[in-house]
Amino acid sequence: DTGVSQDPRHKITKRGQNVTFRCDPISEHNRLYWYRQTLGQGPEFLTYFQNEAQLEKSRLLSDRFSAERPKGSFSTLEIQRTEQGDSAMYLCASSQGGVDTEAFFGQGTRLTVV
């Protein structure tokens, strides 16, 4: 069990470019969550998956954001036409689901839009 893995750790992109982040959850964890953390704030929920099904999207997730979890394993978060306001740490977490389970977080992807 290697924990939740996120790639890349850091991404610098020009405004208007598209970016994609990847999250590999702990194996056999059926729930996967994406959070966004801006400087000086706590993480905010973006979206989550139960296996391959995306069950909820926060209103923070504009139409420029899309997330997938094909085959219920790894997940990708894509941001199209990035804006400076998208600069943040994007955190992925996974859990076994069911009762009394906690989420384990990855190291995050730090996005800087210039």
Q: Give the single-character DSSP code of 74.
A: -
Query: Closest distance between another protein and the C-beta of residue 6, in Å?
Result: 8
Distance, CA of 87 to CA of 83 (rounded, Å): 8
The dihedral over CA atoms of 85, 50, 5, 11, expressed in degrees to the nearest 10, equals -20
Q: For the window 49-88, what string marks contact with another protein as x by the rule CB under 8 A?
A: -x----xx--------------------------------
Query: Closest distance between another protein and the C-beta of residue 52, in Å?
Result: 16
> Does the protein bind another protein through residue 91 (CB under 8 A)?
yes
